[in-house]
Amino acid sequence: GSPLAAKVLGGLLRDKHDHDQWKDVLDSKIWDIPEEKSSIFSILKLSYQYLPSHLKRCFAYCSLFPKDYEFEEKELVLLWIAEGFFQERKGNKPMEDHGDECFRDLLRRSFFQRSSNNESVFVMHDLINDLAQWAARGLCYRLENILDKQFEISTKVRHFSYIRSYYEGMKKFEDFPKDMHLRTFLPLPIKKRGYLTNYIPNCWLPQLRCLRVLSLCGYEIVELPSSIGDLKHLRYLNLSNTRITSLPESTTSLYNLQTLLLKGCNRLIKLPEKIGNLLNLRHLDITDVDLIREMPAGIKELKSLQILSDFFVGKDTTSKIGDLMNLDSLRGTLRISNLENVLDVEDARRANLIGKKNLDALVMKWKPELDDLQVAGSSLDILEMLRPWTTVKEISIDGYVGAKFPTWFGHPSFSNMVLLRIERCKKCTSLPAIGQLPSLRDLALVGLSAVEIIGLEFYGEDCPKPFQSLETLCFEDMQEWKDWIPCKVEYEEFPCLRELSISQCPKLQGKLPHHVPLLEKFSVNGCEQLDVSIPNFPNLHTLEIKGCKGVVSRRTDELCFPKSTILSIPYVKSLTEEFMHGLHGFAKVENLTIDNCKELTSLWQDEFKSLITLDIRGCSSLVNISLTSTLRTLNIEGCSGLKSLSISNCTCLEKASIERCNSLTLISRGQLPQNLKTLNISDCENLQFLADEGEASSNSSSLLEDLFIERCPSLKCLSSSGDLPTTLKRLQIWSCIELTSLSSKNELPTALKDLYVYGCPKMESIANNLPNNASLEYLHIGSCAELKSLPVGLHKLCHLNKIEIWSCPSFVSFPDGGLFPTSLRELSIAGCEKLEAWPNCMPNLNSLRIVDCPSVIYFPEEGYPTSLTSLSFGGENICKQVTVWGLHRLTSLTSLCIDGGIPDWQSFPDEQDGKLTMTLPSSLTQLTIWSIPNIVILSSLGFQNLSALEQLFIRYCPKLASLPEKGLPPSLLRLDIYECPLLKQHCKKGGREWSKIANVPCVEIDYSYSSLPVLQQRLASEPLNIILEFQNTEVISKCAENGRMPF
């Protein structure tokens, strides 16, 4: 049988308590189907047929979601409400409660299930998804791929969703009938970002006058047309994570609008002044809209609001906190910001927070830098008036400027409160009786810089069981805190506490609480005066001690560190001397981090019998390491006194990383365990060899597979006495300026698959020759000024897939007469000034790039391989030859980059007497035009056949002023213009060329630094392309500021 069918059928029967109801199911005609024709789907249909009618509607609507789509309960309920699936009558439950009940009912009946990846979201089983599509009966249409449009879209369709692409042009929507009566326009996933052609919001959507649900969430649109106000039936508008700066005033004529989502619109400055016209608005989400300074005056008219994520109090304006007075239906979370602008206690009372009984969470924020004595004096009375109803579950106070807290704060009547966060209240000298809150689970106290003592008032006077439910407790940045007075001995202060964190409390001294029987994670950081006392907590599994005075224990026989331990104690000289004399405190530790123990000189293996992972950082006096055989991962960083490694006895060690250990001059083979598979070495200034001269050359016993060496300026040779390990699969060398060879025999291991060598200016050769059985797949060499050629035997490597060579000015020729193996798919050569011959015999090559190679004069007679899908070339000599060969022969070419070398062209492609000298393949989807100095126009004749073109990049063309006269191909999704000042001017909105680009989804003119995160992501996956793309610009250096660029 099927578990799914059993679950769904069980969900059907669980609500049927009458014998006759069960018999109706048993007597259903579904059981009369012959066994060979019956199916699980038939049983699912039966379960659907027994659903109440309101659940049938809700479930069928879910056919808009693609298979495996993860959705939130709130997301779906808001859509159901917008479609009118629930009706609200005066005095009855609100529609949101009806929606929640329907959702839970479908979940209980197994039509929905929690995602295995994230329990806060839900999915439908593939067969349930098929059932929803069957139940929708053609009213819902889901477009998952533009190729799926194999049949005509029916005018019967009312609800439309699609899987969005990063660039969304008109092609996806061109087949829709003009007389569609769509109610739903829903791009999915909702949280994904992308670009949308202006044609959709400006021209197409305004024609859909019956729309109830419209989502443009995540699209990089900057404005909405005023015609949005014509969609009179609209009930749901999602503009979250767009780039809009304002909403058109016509939005306020959407009188049926119930949901307006603007989350993450970080350029939005204000809401419409007449927002009070939207009397049916129930949900207004402006989370993370940081530029809004005040609410519009009409907000007080929105008495139907259920969700108002944020309220901004204005300064000297009509936007006052009293505008919240009549919004008593609010539920969920309410954040009130700019409370320093509330000067009238009576206005705070009018806000009537105590009357908003459905609020779950309340966040109140002041600007803590404000130093106004008058404001500070009245703030206590104002906060007293902002008391919420006692059923609130979460409260966060940020930047409160009063000296103490009001009487309601911490009152035990708040019996439902589970989370409390008090942050940056810099004038408060004492804490309220938080310990009296019976259900409190999470407490964070951050930036309370005037608090010196935490004592009995914190627990609550005469409270027999303070903090009886507290599970996490965090103190952070309390600069004046000196003493934590424990609770009375007879009280159990933290019976349920699992996580305790204390950080950046530099004056704290004395003892910490000891009655914490369930503590699992304990962290103390930046408490320079504190001797950390560690009792033997039986459940403790993670301990972090950094920047403290020391570690003590009440009894020497109970000091026992947990499995995961982080230590950073500046004055520790020897762990064995300080902690472990006659003890076994580290015996159970599996993961240990020792950070910034400046005077630590040694580690001894006898004390670490269970150690698996060890991180040692900033221990500048450490000179000796002897470790346990159980160790699997070792990281050593910034240990400038370390002169040698004695880790050969670590027989289980698989991965080691050595960084900034400047006293290391060599790492001998005898010091490394045989089972080591990955070795990373970086920034070791004096490291010269990885094996000394006196050792045998045999590497048969080594299992090393990955070797990465970066920025070791004294390194001369990887193997001074013989070969590299025969098991080596990946070798990466980065910026080792003295390196002359990879091994003294100048040979590569036969198992090597990936070889990266970058920034080694003295290396003349990577190897003399390559064996026939070599496994090499990827070869990348860059900035090796003395490299003249590649090893002999390259053409025999049957696995070789990709070669990249760039910025090697001495590189003259390829070996073996320029022959390459038939397995080669990608070849990229750039900045090789002395290279004379174009490589040949590459019948299966897919990608070829040859730029900045001015000396190439020999070309193969057969031309370039017709198998190419990507071609980049530049230089006058190469451009002339390519023109002779003819690009039109490349019928599979999808990406073309022409990088300079054609100074005589005045148009692109060049025209002579009305004819093209170079015809571009019609198969192109991406075209890059780079550094063609004299072109002034893009040729209409040259672009007219590019019906598949999606991306066009134009860079460094200073005289270019015009796009094709007849316009760009309608298929174009992205246009990038960089350092083309004339074209930039004409492409501004209202400019001469604006009409030609207005409907291109993504137009980038001159990269701004806001684009750097995208470029940094591309650097990780296509570094060579990016480096060449932005050579001689600031972009690469900016991208590299936060770390090295991968090669």
pLDDT digits (tens, 9 = 90+) for 604-617: 666 677 888 889 99
Residue 847 lies in a domain: no
**742-750 CB contacts, 8 Å cutoff, 24+ apart:** 742/717, 742/718, 742/766, 742/767, 743/717, 743/718, 743/719, 744/717, 744/719, 744/720, 745/697, 745/719, 747/723, 748/724, 748/774, 748/776, 748/791, 749/723, 749/724, 749/725, 750/726, 750/774, 750/775
Same domain, 901 and 995: yes
Residue 482 forms part of a structural domain: yes
Residues 526 and 608 in one domain: no
Yes or no: say if 830 and 850 are a contact pair by the CB < 8 Å rule: yes
Kindly provide the b/e burial profile for residues 972-1000, where b requires at least 16 CB atoms within 10 angstroms of the residue's own CB: bbbbbbbebeebbebbeeeeebeebbebb
850-865 b/e (C-beta count within 10 Å ≥ 16 → b): bbbbeebeebbeebbb
Query: Residue 72 pairs with which residues in a beta bridge?
Result: none
Give the Cα separation of 141 and 136 in Å (integer). 9
Q: What is the reported pLDDT for 1020?
A: 45
Contact 98, 89 (CB under 8 A): no
Q: How far apart are CA 551 and CA 310, in angstroms?
A: 45
> Which residue in the block uniquely carries the two structure tokens 């083309």?
980
Contact 939, 912 (CB under 8 A): no
CA angle 75, 77, 83 (to 5 degrees): 110
Q: Please tell me which residue, 490 or 484, carries the higher pLDDT value.
A: 484
pLDDT attached to residue 1040: 42
Above 60 in pLDDT, residue 863? yes
Phi, psi for 904 (deg, rounded to 5):
-85, -15
- Indicate if 550 and 440 belong to the same structural domain: yes
Residues 224, 248 contacting (CB under 8 angstroms): yes
DSSP assignment letter at 646: B
Residue 843 banded pLDDT, cuts 50, 70, 90? confident
> Per-residue pLDDT for 1045 more than 60?
no
Q: What is the pLDDT of residue 531?
A: 84
pLDDT tier at 3, thresholds 50, 70, 90: low
The answer as to whether 384 is a domain residue is: no
Q: Which residue has the tokens 């009245």?
A: 378
pLDDT at 390 over 80: yes
Residues linked to residue 613 through DSSP beta bridges, in sequence order? 591, 633
The encoded tokens of residue 51 equal 């659903």
CA–CA separation, 599 and 582 (whole Å)? 21
Q: Quick one: CA dihedral 813, 815, 819, 822, positive or negative?
A: negative
Separation of alpha carbons 112 and 128, rounded Å: 8
Locate 150 and state its tokens.
């194999």
Q: Under 8 Å CB-to-CB from 341, ≥6 apart: which residues?
A: 313, 314, 315, 316
The number of angstroms, rounded, from the C-alpha of 517 to the middle of its chain's C-alpha atoms is: 37
Q: Is-contact 440 420, C-beta < 8 A?
A: yes
pLDDT grade, residue 418 (50/70/90)?
very high
> Are residues 1014 and 1000 both part of a single domain?
no
Report the pLDDT averaged over residues 586-614.
79
What mean pLDDT is predicted for residues 289-297? 93
- Comparing 3-12, 604-613, 911-920, 1017-1026, which segment has the lowest mean pLDDT? 1017-1026
Question: What average pLDDT does the segment 434-451 reach?
Answer: 95
How does DSSP assign 45-83, residue by residue?
A: HHHHHTS-HHHHHHHHHGGGSPTT--B-HHHHHHHHHHT
pLDDT, position 535: 63
Candidate from 44-48, 97-101, 935-939 with smallest mean pLDDT = 44-48
The residue that leads in pLDDT, 1035 or 901, is 901
Distance CA 960, CA 981 (A): 8
Residue 571 has pLDDT above 60, yes or no: no
Say if pTM beats, i.e. exceeds, 0.75: yes
Q: How many CB atoms lie within 10 A of CB 136?
A: 21
Q: How far apart are CA 345 and CA 803, in angstroms?
A: 73
Residue 529 neighbours by CB distance under 10 Å: 13
Residues 991 and 934 in one domain: yes
User: How much is the pLDDT for 1047?
Assistant: 32
Q: Is residue 834 part of a domain?
A: no
Distance CA 495, CA 492 (A): 6
3-state SS string for 779-805: EEEECCCCCCCCCECHHHCCCCCEEEE
Q: Which residue has the higher pLDDT, 29 or 250?
A: 250
28-32, 316-320, 453-457, 813-817: which has the minimum mean pLDDT?
A: 28-32
Residue 283 inside a domain? The answer is: no
b/e string for 890-925 if b means 16 or more Cβ within 10 A? beebbbbbbbbbbeebebbbbbeeeeeebebbebbb
Residue 979 belongs to some domain of the structure:
yes
Q: Mean pLDDT, the chain, as a whole number?
A: 85
If you count them, how many residues does the chain have? 1047
Q: Which residues of 369-397 are buried (b: 16+ CB within 10 A; e: fewer)?
A: eeeeeebbebbbebbbbbbbeeebbbbbb
Write out pLDDT tens, residues 447-484. 999 999 998 889 887 777 889 999 999 999 999 999 99
Last residue of a domain, one of 114, 141, 169: 114
Q: Are 524 and 502 spatial neighbours (Cβ–Cβ below 8 Å)?
A: yes
Calculate mean pLDDT across residues 95-108.
95
Amino acid at 370: L
964, 991: one domain: yes
Query: Quick one: what percent of the chain has pLDDT higher than 90?
Result: 55
pLDDT in tens, 640-650: 998 888 787 78
Q: Is the model's pLDDT at 400 over the cut of 70?
A: yes
Residue type, 73: E
Whether 1035 has a pLDDT exceeding 60, the answer reads: no
Rounded Cα distance, 143 and 159, in Å: 11
Residues 574 and 542 in one domain: no
Higher pLDDT, residue 1009 or 656? 656
Least confident of 17-31, 804-818, 854-868: 17-31
Three-state SS at 312? strand
Tell whether the model's pLDDT for residue 335 goes beyond 70: yes
Same-domain pairing of 627 and 595: yes
How many domains, in total, are found in the chain? 5
Q: Give the pLDDT confidence score for residue 151 in this predicted structure.
A: 58
Q: What confidence category does residue 305 fall into, taking pLDDT thresholds of 50, 70 and 90?
A: very high
Does a cis peptide bond (omega within 30 degrees of 0) precede residue 189? yes
Is the pLDDT at 943 greater than 80, yes or no?
yes
Give yes or no: residues 535 and 566 share one domain.
no
Sequence-separated (6 or more) residues with CB below 8 Å from residue 309: 263, 284, 285, 286, 287, 332, 333, 334, 335
| CA distance between the termini of the chain | 53
Distance in angstroms (rounded) separating the CA atoms of residues 537 and 498: 11
Q: Check: CB of residue 722 under 8 Å from CB of residue 745.
A: yes
* pLDDT higher than threshold 60 for residue 223: yes
Query: Final residue of a domain: which of 632, 664, 696?
Result: 664
Whether the bond into 933 is cis, omega within 30 of 0: no
Q: Looking at residue 1038, what is its pLDDT?
A: 43
- What's the domain range around 464? 429-554
Q: Bigger pLDDT: 568 or 976?
A: 976
Give percent of the chain above pLDDT 70.
Answer: 85
pLDDT value at residue 38: 46
The yes-or-no verdict on residue 840 having pLDDT over 70 is yes
Highest mean pLDDT among 82-91, 143-152, 261-270, 839-848: 261-270
Which band of pLDDT confidence, cut at 50, 70 and 90, is reported for residue 376? low
- The pLDDT value recorded for residue 922 is 94
**pLDDT at residue 533 is higher than 80:** no
- Whether residues 483 and 582 fall in one domain: no
Look at residue 559 and tell me whether its pLDDT is greater than 80: no
Tell me what pLDDT residue 658 has. 95
Q: How many CA atoms lie within 13 A of 679 on its CB side?
A: 26
- Choose one of 90, 114, 138: the last residue of a domain: 114
Helix-helix angle 73-82:53-61, to 10 degrees: 110
Task: Tell me whether residue 943 is in a domain.
Answer: yes
The answer to whether the CB of 713 falls within 8 A of the CB of 738 is: yes
Judgement on whether residues 583 and 524 belong to the same structural domain of the protein: no
Residue 1019, pLDDT > 90, answer no
Task: Give, to the nearest 10 degrees, the angle between helix 73-82 and helix 95-108.
Answer: 120
Residue that wins the pLDDT comparison between 233 and 91: 233
- Mean pLDDT across the stretch 689-700? 54
Domain membership flag for residue 519: yes
Main-chain phi, psi angles of 86, to 5 degrees: -130, 145
Q: Which has the closest alpha carbon to 650: 665, 666, 636, 664? A: 636
Sequence-distant (6+) residues with CB within 8 A of 150 are none
660 and 567: one domain? Answer: yes
pLDDT tens, 242-286? 999 999 999 999 999 999 999 999 999 999 999 999 999 999 999
Q: Which residues neighbour 23 within 8 Å (Cβ) at sequence distance 6 or greater?
A: none
